[in-house]
């Protein structure tokens, strides 16, 4: 492989990784507090993509209004998801909570299928995201550069909220010790709602960028990115936001580079992430940034 091609793939990997990273944050935040894999998290990508598209198509909104509105709407749906499917099961066995999450995921996908139809829709990419920059033999779509930058900005914003605000402190306390936080008189329902709002909004931002990158959207578009982003979160150390970001970038690079280096295995691309997951669980179950479990 030529050096140019390698650099090209490296950039692609970082760009894909930034999308995984944004989704992984939501998984890791919810897992940190509720100890639940929010199976329906990936489907929020799809919700955001459709919301953004219909904002532009039906209401003729410009992208810079439609996209933020879609992100807010998805955040609200994230909170609704928690209230409807998870909140009633806070005291229930874990297996029930997970089954509820799977049910919610299927409900969202199939509702979208019934309401919108299964035919993939073309996502109208705004012109300003369609340019391609050419630097010395490298063809780089601007989107490929924008998405890591947007991710970086959003992560910095999130870290500010989590580490510098009162709500963020409560959130961290809840992920350390749920019961003690409750005893300290903190309204956990509000903290959980905030967690879902933040996680879902980030997933929405990722979903919109995903839709611009692969501009054919369908009701099941969120499933695979969602699963892989969860794996990224485990890779980084579940419960750790910086770890999730790191895991996302690593997974993106890993996928792109394996396909680039071993093109014969391209068909098996979607299997790599799971093999990586098995490897991580076997050799370092706490992930890269995770602390060892304390009794």
Partner 1 sequence: MNPLFQMRHVTKEFGGITAVNDFSITLERGELAGLIGPNGAGKTTVFNIITGVLRPTVGDLTWKAESIAQLPSHLITARGIARTFQNIKLFADMSVLENVMVSCHHSIRSSFWAAMLGLTKHRKEEERIREHSLRYLEEAGLSELAFEKAQNLPYGLQRKLEIARALATEPGMLLLDEPAAGMNPMEKMELAAFIRRIRETREITIFLIEHDMKFVMNLCERIRVMNYGKSIGEGTPDEVRSNPQVISAYLGGTATYAQG
Partner 2 sequence: MGNSFYLPRPKAAANPAGGPTAGLKRWLNAALFFLLFGVLFLFSHYGSGYQVRILNNIAIFITLAVSYNLINGVCGLLHLGPNGFIAIGAYTSALLAMSPAEKNLNFILSNVIWPLNVIQVPFAVSLIAAGAMAALFAFLISFPVLRVRGDYLAIVTLGFGEVVRVVCNGAQSVTNGPLGIKGLYPHTNLWWSWGVAALSVVVIQRLINSNYGLAMKAIREDETAARAMGVDPFRRLMLGFLISAFFSGIAGGLLAHLITTISPGLFTFLLTFNLLIMIVVGGLGSTTGAILGAALFAWGGEALRVVEQPMQIGPLTIPGIPGMRMVIFSLVLLLVILFARKGIMGRRELSWDFLFSKLAGSRRAKTPS
Q: How far is the CB of 190 from partner 2 (least distance, A)?
A: 22
Give the nearer residue to partner 1 in terms of CB position, either 264 or 295. Answer: 295
Binding mask of the shown chain, residues 234 to 273, with x at each position contacting partner 1 by CB under 8 A: ----------------------------------------
End-to-end CA distance of the chain: 49
C-alpha 128/C-alpha 126 separation (Å) is 6
Q: How far is the CB of 222 from partner 2 (least distance, A)?
A: 13
Q: How many residues appear in the chain?
A: 295
Q: Is 61 within 8 Å of 122 (Cβ atoms)?
A: no
Question: Residue 291 interacts with partner 1 (CB under 8 A)?
Answer: yes
Helix (H, G, I), strand (E, B) or coil at 135: strand
Q: Is 256 within 8 Å of 12 (Cβ atoms)?
A: yes
Positions of E strands within the chain: 121-122, 132-135, 138-141, 216-217
Question: Residue 292 interacts with partner 1 (CB under 8 A)?
Answer: yes
Q: How far is the CB of 71 from partner 2 (least distance, A)?
A: 25
Binding partner of residue 294 among partner 2, partner 1, none, CB cut-off 5 to 8 Å per kind: partner 1
Which residues sit at the interface with partner 2, rule CB under 8 A?
31, 35-37, 85, 88-89, 92, 94-96, 98-100, 102-104, 106-107, 110-111, 113-114, 118, 227, 230-231, 234, 267-268, 270-271, 273-275, 277-278, 281-282, 285
Question: Residue 95 interacts with partner 1 (CB under 8 A)?
Answer: no
Binding partner of residue 288 among partner 2, partner 1, none, CB cut-off 5 to 8 Å per kind: none
How far, in Å, are 34, 110, 148, 174 from residue 30 at the CA level?
6, 24, 23, 11
C-alpha 248/C-alpha 22 separation (Å) is 8
Question: Residue 136 interacts with partner 1 (CB under 8 A)?
Answer: no
Q: How far is the CB of 239 from partner 1 (least distance, A)?
A: 16
Q: How far is the CB of 94 from partner 1 (least distance, A)?
A: 15
18: closest CA among 126, 154, 198, 174?
A: 154
């Amino acid at each position: 492989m030529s050096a140019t091609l390698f650099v090209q793939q490296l950039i692609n990997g970082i760009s894909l990784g930034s999308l995984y990273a944004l989704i992984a944050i939501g998984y890791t935040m919810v897992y940190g507090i509720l100890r639940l894999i929010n199976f329906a998290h990936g489907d929020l990508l799809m919700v955001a993509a459709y919301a953004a598209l219909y904002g532009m198509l039906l209401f003729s909104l410009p992208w810079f209004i439609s996209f933020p509105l879609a992100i807010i709407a998805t955040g609200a749906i994230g909170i609704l998801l928690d209230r409807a499917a998870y909140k009633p099961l806070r005291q229930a066995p874990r297996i029930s909570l997970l089954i509820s999450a799977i049910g919610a995921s299927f409900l969202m996908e199939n509702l979208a299928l019934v309401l919108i139809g299964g035919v993939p829709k073309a996502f109208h990419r705004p012109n300003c995201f369609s340019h391609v920059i050419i630097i010395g033999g490298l063809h780089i779509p601007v989107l490929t550069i924008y998405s890591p930058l947007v991710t970086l900005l959003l992560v910095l914003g999130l870290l500010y909220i989590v580490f510098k605000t009162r709500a963020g402190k409560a959130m961290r306390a809840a992920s350390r010790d749920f019961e003690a936080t409750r005893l300290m008189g903190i309204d956990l329902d509000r903290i959980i709602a905030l967690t879902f709002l933040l996680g879902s909004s980030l997933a929405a931002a990722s979903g919109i960028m995903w839709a611009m990158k692969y501009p054919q959207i369908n009701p099941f578009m969120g499933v695979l990115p969602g699963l892989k982003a969860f794996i990224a979160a485990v890779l980084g150390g579940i419960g750790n936001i910086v770890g999730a970001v790191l895991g996302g970038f690593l997974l993106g690079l890993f996928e792109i580079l394996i396909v680039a280096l071993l093109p014969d295995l391209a068909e098996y691309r979607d299997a790599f992430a799971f093999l990586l997951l098995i490897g991580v669980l076997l050799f370092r179950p706490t992930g890269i940034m995770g602390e060892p479990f304390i009794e």
